[in-house]
Structure 1
């Protein structure tokens, strides 16, 4: 079906702004769309197998037969100019394709042709002879040449560009164990940063299984997410202002403060997208743009900027904080009390950062501050897999790493051990259209059955 009732009005997908389809889709799930024929609830289909359309999700009778009741107002008539030719009056300068050009055709999915046949490209061979690498090999933990190089390169800034399926988790965990067992580095001086608590727990579990490792050694590591690590630092130095009972853990708590500010601006709670406003505020905070520094680029951002100012003021009055404040608060602590920063610079001498393509400005600045004394930073990421720009993440920091840290070593993990040839080659072809990326191409040394 092409028509439905939305906000007490009849709408047609042919006339509706395509940029608003996502909102229609979301509102359909909230029960805000009804059938133009029977009045029952409908949803909007958005997918690649069929054109966008409204449908009855729970009805067994199928979709209703639409009547052609949607009649948009006719466009104003245009005065047509004619020319005389061989006794006939012919419209002048009339394009016979004008109507066809207005129609937006749905492009159905099609099979992607694999541009290149499979050509096995074996990975670089390992060759470093060190005692702990021998122990890892005996424990059936193997590396290719590039992976091995990443494991044993422990001093100075290191950038590991790790493509999908290249074994980066194995490299990170083995590198940590290698530092502790082979290099005899104090595990308490190593900070391992991930983007999810689950990933941090999984890495610690893996490290504990490596030769010579034990839960006691692993527990000395400082491993966790940016928020968990820096929140612990804040609590240690200022527990009164950063106690957990003052944290707004739920989105409704943050939205409640924002709606109170919105009432002052007479914003309609049902019409104004407060969830998107919170997302925008989070973006500004993660890129270290304070309320007075915001430069709105649209009327909507002007409203959000005013909400942002009131939101921060309300939090200060009530002595509350949100998750984004944890990182900004720690940055402010280090700036205002350099002696505290220096104590952590002395304590932590090695940093390993996973998913570096998802790092944002405040996280990047914090890691620069902490690693300034020793410079032993290992950043692992892939700019082709950056998907969190809506919250301030920017793969450009992978490029900045080269200029902000001196004498960096670059290692490329470009051997895919996970996906079949068809997927790897298709991904290589698609991503090559992006010109603002590190030049790399994933390879396969053996065929994987795509139907397994």
Structure 2
């Protein structure tokens, strides 16, 4: 059993207020090293011990595997021996996307054993579409495609931020077609295809809304457009963010 009183006493006034506020969406603004991550982990422990939120209904997302691992260790330590402490879902955005797609991706035509392409895999796939192009010439194309996906855009979006006009859009479209043909995803797709899944599959979206009643985001200011869209799809009418 966690000693919540002791955990709260270690916080300053604004930190404690952020931990105990659970009636509305909350944004914590503070400088580097001011304890934002500590607030998140304490808030998770507080929600479980004081509010009775089941650990498995809490989702926390961050940007690096190291940060996710450290947050999980802190939460488990704070909960001091609770058998279900490991049930809190703490992942990077992309790791969460992979988890969601392997579980429900069949709803949008993805097999659960899909391969996740890294930068070199993605470049090789693009090169296979354009064998007469040098790989070096295709690298900026691949970077532009990845950037567009991070902006939440596809090859047919009107506001596509790609230089090269119709030629670049055509290459983007062909790359996406080839990726679908082989049944795999690139790194950016872990977010983009998850958004597609939640928008197209009502059952999956409702499952997520029931499953995750509390969602916390570490370093929220660093989210890109696609990650923000994913969060919007995950938040249900009864979710606390």
So what's the TM-score if we normalise by structure 1? 0.49
Q: What residue number does 1:236 align with?
A: 103
Q: Which is helix-richer, 1 or 2? A: 2
Aligned residues: 238
Contact 2:57/2:212 (8 A) holds in 1: yes
5+ residue gaps, structure 1, are 1-130, 378-452
Distance 1:296 1:217, change over 3 A: closer
Q: What residue number does 1:214 align with?
A: 81
For residue 354 of structure 1, the aligned residue among 218, 225, 234 is 218
Distance 1:306 1:199, change over 3 A: same
Contact 1:227/1:327 (8 A) holds in 2: yes
Matching of residue 226 in structure 1 with residue 90 in structure 2: no
Compare CA radii of gyration and give the structure with the larger one. 1
Q: What residue number does 1:100 align with?
A: none
Contact 1:197/1:225 (8 A) holds in 2: yes
Contact 1:188/1:222 (8 A) holds in 2: yes
SS at match of 1:362: helix
Q: Which is strand-richer, 1 or 2? A: 1
SS at match of 2:80: coil
1:179 CA drift (Å): 0.9
SS at match of 1:185: coil
1:294 CA drift (Å): 5.0
In structure 1, how many angstroms separate the alpha carbons of the residues matched to 2:171 and 2:151? 18
Matching of residue 246 in structure 1 with residue 109 in structure 2: no
In structure 2, how many angstroms separate the alpha carbons of the residues matched to 1:336 and 1:192? 24
SS at match of 1:192: strand
Task: Quote the RMSD (CA, aligned, Å).
Answer: 2.4
Matching of residue 151 in structure 1 with residue 19 in structure 2: yes
1:133 CA drift (Å): 4.7
1:222 CA drift (Å): 1.2
In structure 2, how many angstroms separate the alpha carbons of the residues matched to 1:172 and 1:247? 30
Deviates further, 347-356 or 294-303? 294-303
SS at match of 2:27: strand
> Larger relative CO (CA 8 A, sep 6+): 1 or 2?
2
Q: What residue number does 2:180 align with?
A: 316
Q: What residue number does 1:194 align with?
A: 62
